[in-house]
Amino acid sequence: MPIPTSARPSAPTRRRLAGAGAALAAGLALPALPAAAQDKVVFATNWKAQAAHGGFYQALADGTYARLGLEVEIRQGGPQVNNRPLLPAGRIDFLMTGNLLHTFDNVRNNVPTVVVAAMFQKDPQVFLAHPGQYETWNDLKKAPVILVAKDGQFSFWQWMKQDGFRDEQLRPYTYNSAPFLANKRSVQQGYAVAEPISIEKAAGFAPKLFLLADHGWSTYSTTIETRPELVKTKPELVRRFVEGSILGWVNYLHGDRAGADALIRKENPEVTQDELDRGVAKLKALGIVDSGDARTRGIGAIDPARVKDFHDKMVKAGLFKAGEVDLSRVVTTEFVNKAVGVDVRRKLTGSSN
């Protein structure tokens, strides 16, 4: 069964770092490096700039990457261009991917990529229901119609069928919510910081959310991939990019994000400040970024046992065959689990956890 190889492809835009003297929120000090020492890095996202990318733009806006000696170019995504082949080809240095399925597929096909950080502890994939229709996850199994896009049909839907969902319920989702809005008994897939917000604005009600991650969909999300060769030959560059991104996410969620939001709106004029505000609220409320291990090990944390758990579920669901994915090649924990940013979060939130 094929695994989708492009989550949300991208079209290049360029943003240079500026303001190397700007102060990090919470007073975190990083050593300033001379301009000549800055390494150029190209990072591609998998969709247009939005709240779900906010930490990376934060690290641009507040000078975090610059203080770590990096000149970072972010190439935002879009509907027409697939950035995934550019990473193994060496045309970009880092790639934001949707979840671990993409890396499993790369390893199976001997494509040289490896995950170096998992910025989201929970995949933001949700199912949406009309208020008052379905109260629990098990209730969704009674829905007459469940709208799922093609990629979802060949990934999480196969896993859901192991839990009692049926192909008879399945209908295609074309990223148009009109069929969902027209049928109160229907259920629709969505991204936690996208469809729920657009539906509430358009239809005047907040749909009930069922986060797949809260029901056993144990993949990490918004992972950062690079090439194993870069990990081997330039580990310090990888470390600086990962740690800069971690600090960017801490400050975006809990500090002053005005500069990052301005960059996002400039890169993607379609997104409004209200959508960004609502998106950040969803990220926080659902614990997408800094829940679980991220609270003690730092944002980006990876547990190899959890990677194996998700892999085993995908084997059971029929997406992979046992033994065809070498899990030792999927992720490296060399650059995460070091509690980077944990102290900054505590200062910004006034919390001890």
Please give the Cα distance from 227 to 231 (Å, whole number).
7
Distances in Å between the Cα of 266 and the Cα atoms of 20, 71, 87, 269, 270 are 20, 19, 25, 6, 9
Q: Are 242 and 337 a contacting pair, CB within 8 Å?
A: no
User: Starting at the edge strand that comes first in sequence, how are the strands of the sheet with 145-148 ordered?
Assistant: 170-172, 145-148, 186-191, 125-129, 208-211
Q: What is the pLDDT of residue 33?
A: 46
Please give the Cα distance from 228 to 302 (Å, whole number).
17
**Both structure tokens of 146:** 């469940």
Angle, CA 236 vertex, CA 230 and CA 239 arms, to 5°: 90
Please give the Cα distance from 294 to 339 (Å, whole number).
8
Residue with tokens 């690290």: 59
Q: Where are the alpha helices (DSSP H) in 221-341?
A: 228-233, 235-254, 258-267, 273-285, 294-297, 304-316
Strands (E) in 27-113, as ranges, are 39-44, 70-75, 94-99
Largest CA distance in the chain: 62
DSSP-derived secondary structure letter, 324: S
Asked if 25-122+219-349 and 125-215 have one fold, the answer is yes
Residues 6+ apart with CB under 8 A from 238: 116, 226, 230, 231, 334, 335
**Both structure tokens of 46:** 């998998």
| CATH superfamily of the domain spanning 125-215 | Periplasmic binding protein-like II (3.40.190.10)
- How many other C-beta atoms are found inside a 10 Å radius of the C-beta of residue 184? 11
Q: Which bin fits 318, alpha (ψ -120 to 50), beta or left (φ > 0)? A: left
Please report, for the chain, how many H helices and E strands are present, in that order.
14, 10
Which helix H or strand E contains 328, and what residues bound it? none
Please give the Cα distance from 326 to 335 (Å, whole number).
20
Q: Which fold has domain 25-122+219-349?
A: D-Maltodextrin-Binding Protein; domain 2 (3.40.190)
Which helix H or strand E contains 191, and what residues bound it? strand 186-191
Q: Which of 313, 305, 296, 312 is CA-nearest to residue 331?
A: 305
Judged on CB neighbours under 10 Å (0-12, 13-18, 19+), 174 is: exposed
Residue with tokens 């991104």: 245
Strand 186-191 and strand 125-129: the pairing is: antiparallel
Q: Which of 16, 52, 21 is CA-nearest to residue 34?
A: 21
Q: Are 224 and 245 a contacting pair, CB within 8 Å?
A: yes
pLDDT in single tens digits along all 353 residues of the chain? 444 433 343 333 333 333 333 334 443 445 444 444 799 999 999 999 999 999 999 999 999 999 999 999 999 987 877 888 999 999 999 999 999 999 999 999 999 999 999 999 999 999 999 999 999 999 999 999 999 999 999 999 999 999 999 999 999 999 999 999 999 999 999 999 999 999 999 999 999 999 999 999 999 999 999 999 999 999 999 999 999 999 999 999 999 999 999 999 999 999 999 999 999 999 999 999 999 999 999 999 999 999 999 999 999 999 999 999 999 999 999 999 999 999 999 999 998 77
Domain ranges for the chain, please list them: 25-122+219-349, 125-215
Q: Report the chain's terminal Cα–Cα distance, integer Å.
A: 42
Type of residue found at 208: K
Q: What is the pLDDT of residue 243?
A: 98
**Both structure tokens of 251:** 């400050």
